[in-house]
Structure 1
Amino acid sequence: MPLFAAAAKHLHARRTTLRAVALCAGMVLAQAVSAAPAALRVGDQSGLVQTLLQAAGEAQTPTLPLSWHPFPAGPALLEALSAGAVDVGVVGNAPPVFAQAGGFDIRIIGVADGAQNNNALLLPQGSTVQQVVDLKGRRVAVAKGSSGHYLLLAALRQAGLSPREVKIAYASPIDAQNAFASGHLDAWAVWYPFVGQATAHGARVLVDGSAWPETGLNFTVASGQALADPQRARQLGELMVRLARAQAWATAHPDAWAQALAGSTRLPLELVREMLAHQHLRYVPIDPSIIALQQRLADAFAAERLIPKPLQVEQVFDSRFNSLLPQPD
C-alpha cells in the first residue's frame, strides 16, 4: 500500500505541475496575441496603394500589419474614414474639400506632389477650338467636384470666362467618355488614364494642369478616431514612412512600376507608361505653401456654390508626421 500511495501522490503532483505549465503557456500565448498590433485598415482605390507598397518592397511587416478595403472613388473612401470603418486612405485633391464641407472627421496627414499633368481639358478630333476662350457657349463635360472640375474652373477663370458662359454637363468619366467619343461634347475635363485613352483615338489636349500646381496634389487622409489612438497613430507614422519610400522607388524606377501597375489595373502597359510619364510624385512636408494651394480649390468650389460655405482648409491638415519623411538630398 505505501508503494501505491507514493505512486499516486507522485502522479498527482506531476499532473498539477503539467496543469500549471499549461496555464502559464496559455497566459504567455494570450499576452502575445493581445500584444500583437491590430491591422491598420487601409482604404484603397483600384488597389493602387497596395500595389505600390508591394512593388517597392514596402508591404506589411510584423510591426505594421495592413488590411485592405477597396473603394470605387475618393468620396466613398472619405465617408468610410469619417465613420470609422477604415483608418487611412489616399485620395486626390478635391474629395477632402467636400469631406470637410460635410463635417467629416478626417485629417490630411501626408501630401504627394507632382501630378499636375494628370488632368487635362480635351478636345475631340477635328475641333476648331484653339484656346479656352473659344469654349464660350459650348458643351463641356466634367465629373462634378473632381480634380478635373477644378481644372475646368481655373482654365475658364484664366481665360476670362464665367462657368455660366459655357454649357457644363456633369457626368462620370465613363458616361462622358462615351458622349465624347460619339461627338456629343465640345470638350471634356478629365484625368489619366482617360486622357491617354482619348488622345490615342485622336483627341487633343487644350490645356493640362501644369499651370496650376494645386492640381498635382494627392493626399494621405486618416480618420480622427485613428489619430486619437496612440497605437494607430504610431502605425500611421510608419505607413507614412513606407509610402514615401515606395513613391520614391516608383519615381526612380518608372518601368518596373509601370509593369506592376499595369498588372494590377489591367490597363495596357503603354498607356500606363504614358500616364506615369506625366507624373513625378514625391512626398513633401505639410507646410503653409501646400495649405495655400488646397485653399485655392476650396475657394473655387465655394465661389461656384458647390460647397455650402467657404472653408479654412488648414483645419483638416495634421503635420505631426512631417519629421518622419525622408529628407531631400
Structure 2
Amino acid sequence: MTFDINRRHALLLGFGAAALGTFGPTLKARAGAKEIRIGWQKGGVVALLKGRGLLEERLAAKGVKVSWAEFTSGPPLLEALSAGALDFGTTGDVPPLFAHAARGNLVFVGAYRGSPVGNAILVRKDSPIQTIADLKGRKLAFKRGSSAHNVALKLLRTAGLTLNDIEAVDLSPPDAAPAFANGSIDAWSIWDPYTARAEADPNTRVLATAEGVVPAYGFLSANGTFAKENSDLIVDTIEALKDVGRAAQSDLPGTVAAFAEATGLSKDILTVVATRPGQDYGALSYVQEEHIAYEQGLADEFHALGIIPRKLDIRAAVWTPKST
C-alpha cells in the first residue's frame, strides 16, 4: 500500500475548514476561556467523564462551561483540534503522529494504557482466512491514521507480510461494520468497543489480537494555543479524568452502567470491554518518559515506512503542567 502524502495534507486542510464551519471560528487565543470543548469517542474514560458530569461540577465555580463533540475515530478529532475547533480530546497512538506530521497546532497532555486484546483483526466465521498469512491479497479494512492502522501493520508483520501485501480499505468504524457484515471486505482491523460489539455476532471470528504485539496506548491531546493560555483548565480536566478512572476501576458494574448511559451501547458489550485482560481505567497520567519513548519509536517507524512525511520530535510536542 502506498500513501499519497500530498493528498493527505489536502484532506487535513479541507477538514480544518469544514471543522471551523461546524464549530465556529476559533483560531484566536482563548486565554481565560469560559468554555472547554472536548472531543470524545465511544468507550474510554473520557466518555465516562462525559456521562458522570464531574468536570462540569468542577468548572462551574470558575464560570467555565464544558461542551462535547463525538467522533467515530481519532483522525478527524485531531484535525478539528488542530484547527482550533476543539480544545481537548482523546485518541489512540497513531492519530497524533499524522496530526503533528501535518504541523497541526496540538500538544500531548496525557496518556493511558488499555487492553491490547480489544484491538484485533476480525474475519467472518465462515471465512477461509485462518491465519494472518492468509490475508495476503485480501481486502483488510481499517481507518488510515488510526490505532487500527498500526495494529494491521504489526500483525501482518508477524506473518512476514506488509501493508503492500493486502488491499487496504480506508473505512471509519460506522462504514466498516456494515461492509464487514455483508462481506464487502475480507477482514477488519478495529478497536474496542467496536471489537466487542462485532464479537457479539456469532458470525464473527477473531483472527488475531494485538496482545503481545502492540501495547494499547492512548493519548490525550490539547490545542497548543489553548493549552498555553489555559493550563489550569487542562490540569482540571486531567485530574477529573484520573478521579473518574480510579473510581471506575474500583466499581466495574457501576462503570458499565455509566458507559451504557453515555454511549448507548449494551451492558453486555461494555462488560466485555471493562473486563478485558490489562484493562485499567485508573491507569491515566500526565505524559511520562515511557509514553514519549513509545510514541517516538512509532513516529520513527512510520516515517521510515513513508507513512508520515517527516521526522517528528515527540518530546518537543509534550505539554508539561506547572504543577500536578
Could you tell me the TM-score, scaled by structure 2's length?
0.79
Deviation at 1:91, TM superposition (A): 2.2
Q: What is the CA deviation profile of residues 168-224 of structure 1, one whole-angstrom value per residue up to 9, with x for unaligned ones? A: 22222222222221223322101122212222222111221222444x122221222
Q: What corresponds to 1:66 in structure 2?
A: 65
Quote the residue 2:252 is aligned against. 254
Deviation digits for residues 34-57 of structure 1 (CA, Å, limit 9, x no counterpart): xxx643413222576364255385
1:93-132 residue pairs with structure 2 within 5 A?
93-132=93-132
SS at match of 1:97: helix
Structure with more of its chain in helix, by fraction: 1
- For residue 245 of structure 1, the aligned residue among 224, 236, 243 is 243
Pick closer, same or farther for the CA change 1:39–1:132 going to 2, 3 Å.
same
Aligned pair count reads 284
Contact 2:119-2:192 at 8 Å conserved across structures: yes
CA distance in 2, matches of 1:277, 1:86: 31
The reply on whether 1:307 has 2:304 as its aligned counterpart is: no
| Contact 2:41 2:70 (C-alpha < 8 Å) held by counterparts | yes
Cα distance change of structure 1 residues 316 and 115 upon mapping to structure 2, 3 Å threshold = farther
Cα shift at 1:123: 1.6
1:131-189 residue CA offsets vs partner (Å, 9 max, x unmatched): 21222222211111111111000111222112211222222222222222122332210
- C-alpha distance in 1 between matches for 2:252 and 2:286: 23
Equivalent residue, structure 1, for 2:19: none
Amino acid at match of 2:106: I
RMSD of equivalent CA atoms: 2.4
Matched residue SS, 1:127: coil
* Counterpart for residue 186 of structure 1: 186
Match of 2:167 in 1: 167
Q: Does 1:82 align with 2:77?
A: no
- Maintained 8 Å contact 2:109/2:319: yes
Deviation at 1:247, TM superposition (A): 0.9
Q: Which residue of 2 aligns with 1:203?
A: 204
Contact 1:140–1:169, Cα closer than 8 Å, also in 2: yes
Going from structure 1 to structure 2, the CA distance change for 1:171 and 1:82 (only over 3 Å counts) comes to closer
What one-letter code is carried by the residue in structure 2 that aligns with 1:256? G
**2:176 aligned with 1:176, yes or no?**
yes
**What residue ranges of structure 1 are gaps of 5+ in the alignment?**
1-36, 325-329
Q: 1:55 is matched with which residue: 52, 57, 60?
A: 52
Contact (CA 8 Å) 2:47, 2:262: kept in 1 or not? no
Alignment of 1:286-305 (within 5 A): 286-305=287-306
**Distance in 2, Cα, partners of 1:212 & 1:320:** 32
Q: Counterpart amino acid of 1:253? A: D
Aligned match of 2:38: 43
Larger Rg: 1
Distance in structure 2 (CA, Å) of the matches to 1:47 and 1:38: 26
CA contact (8 A) 2:118 2:191 kept: yes
Distance in 2, matches of 1:157 and 1:50, equals 33
Percentage of identical aligned residues: 30
Task: Tell me if structure 1 keeps the 8 A contact 2:55–2:237.
Answer: no
Match of 1:138 in 2: 138
Q: CA deviation at 1:59?
A: 4.0
From the superposition, tell whether residues 81 and 270 of structure 1 become closer, same or farther in structure 2 (CA, over 3 Å). Answer: same
